[in-house]
Amino acid sequence: IGGIDGAIAGKIRRRGEQFGAASVLFYERPIEMVSASGVHLFDADGRRYLDVYNNVPSVGHCHPKVVAAIAAQAAALNIHTRYLTRPVEAYAERLLATFPAPLTNLLMTCTGSESNDLALRIANSFTGARGIVVTEAAYHGNTAAVTEISPSSLLRRRPAAHVRTIPAPDIAAGGDVGARFAAALKAAIADLEAQGLGFAGLVVDTIFSSDGIHADPPGFLRDAAGIVREAGGLFVADEVQPGFGRTGAGFWGFERHGLVPDIVTMGKPMGNGFPMGGVVTRPELLDRFCAETGYFNTFGGNPVAAAAGLAVLDVIAEEGLIDHAQVVGARLKEGLEALMPRHAAIGAVRGAGLFIGLDLIDAEDGSPDAALTSHVINAMKERGILIGAAGLHGNTLKIRPPLPFAEDHAALFTDTLDAILAER
Ligand code: PMP
């Protein structure tokens, strides 16, 4: 492991031996993390990093209220999910109150992948159809069924026969984003029908994270929702990334689009790091599914998870994190846009709340510049800032910090990006 000093090189090698080909670490020089608090992480040398990447610890790393809730419930009762328990009932009531009227049933899981897997099963059982439409660089999780609808993880494998992909709704393509997206969806549905597969549903991350973050204009997904309904399929909103207030416009990403999905899936920030996921849907969809196969999850919705989830909901409300995401996110976006006249390498800045995508392009020909993106990510890390990439071409900086991210953190990030690009 060239250029990496002794102790850490040994740990990287050992990890490679233990985890084999599945061992993937961030950075040319990986970091050994030891602790975290708020919007910062600390490595084994005591070095502090500003977190502009992690959306799981959404209310802040190791938030004391969430940690205390987990510890207290773990000390009182930690059991599977087939007894009545007060934390679970309280959690369901609080979480369901964030949803519009017809969405009144909750299934609890441990991960986003399980949630999307259930959504597929519900959609298949309700429609009797197989066909699913997703976006070109979507990621929806890691089960067998969900990998089939995650083109970004198929690598060199061919997409499954029952899955159609459509381009991400990129405003840069010009014209009416919603109409273009809806037309592509309509064509994909027609193709599924023509192949005899039928149309079970559209599964979309409502902020299109792995497609490079596409948020605007608000409402562009409404046309697609209409097409889904006309075709007799279900609209599945994957809220694993935008959910729990990140977009700064309500609790859920679909709210920015003024639509009500048939099924909503969630995960990541739900337990601020405690493994939690969920599916929210209408009773009639669940009735049909449960009559066919039923549902049991040993850990999904255990009392400790519910306690973690409740604390997360409390913190979001008490600390006003949704409004905060909107205010700080808007400042951050303005700051990044202000860099554009100075750096031809910044091709676009997009996003909502504290979820922003920034495209890095070749200044000469405007083509996506994944090498520059990788350089920026590694240079940021050397300066104590954690950031990642997304998008079909891997050239979109994925700016997605814990929600307590403040304006001075935003300024530090913007100034650091400015300096790194100026050095090139
Ligand atoms: N959906 C989306 C949009 C995601 O980003 C992810 C995780 N990156 C998942 C689903 C899967 O969640 P998990 O890793 O918890 O299974």
270-299 per-position pLDDT tens digit: 999 999 999 999 999 999 999 998 899 999
What atom in ligand 1 is closest to the CA of residue 110?
15
Contacts of 218 (CB under 8 A, 6+ apart): 249, 256, 257, 258, 352
**210-235 tens-digit pLDDT:** 999 999 999 999 999 999 999 999 99
**330-370 tens-digit pLDDT:** 999 999 999 999 999 999 999 999 999 999 999 999 999 99
Percent of the chain with pLDDT over 90: 91
**Ligand 1 touching residue 116 (CB < 6 A):** yes
pLDDT of residue 294: 84
Output the CA–CA distances (angstroms, integers) from residue 268 to 114, 127, 131, 246, in the order listed: 12, 28, 27, 12
CATH of 31-59+320-423, picked from 3.90.1150.10, 3.40.50.2000, 3.40.50.12240, 2.60.40.10, is 3.90.1150.10
Q: What is the pTM of this model?
A: 0.97
Residue 7 has pLDDT above 90, yes or no: no
**Ligand 1 touching residue 251 (CB < 6 A):** no
Q: What is the ipTM of this complex?
A: 0.99
Distance, in Å, from the CA atom of 109 to the CA atom of 122, rounded to the nearest integer, reads 14
Ligand 1 centroid from CA 386, angstroms: 19
Distance, in Å, from the CA atom of 138 to the CA atom of 179, rounded to the nearest integer, reads 20
**301-341 tens-digit pLDDT:** 999 999 999 999 999 999 999 999 999 999 999 999 999 99
pLDDT of residue 3: 63
**CATH entry 3.40.640.10 includes domain 64-318:** yes
Distance, in Å, from the CA atom of 171 to the CA atom of 332, rounded to the nearest integer, reads 20
Largest CA distance in the chain: 63
In DSSP terms, 108 is beta-bridged to 278
**120-145 tens-digit pLDDT:** 999 999 999 999 999 999 999 999 99
**Ligand 1 touching residue 152 (CB < 6 A):** no
- Sequence spans of domains, the chain: 31-59+320-423, 64-318
**63-109 tens-digit pLDDT:** 999 999 999 999 999 998 899 999 999 999 999 999 999 999 999 99
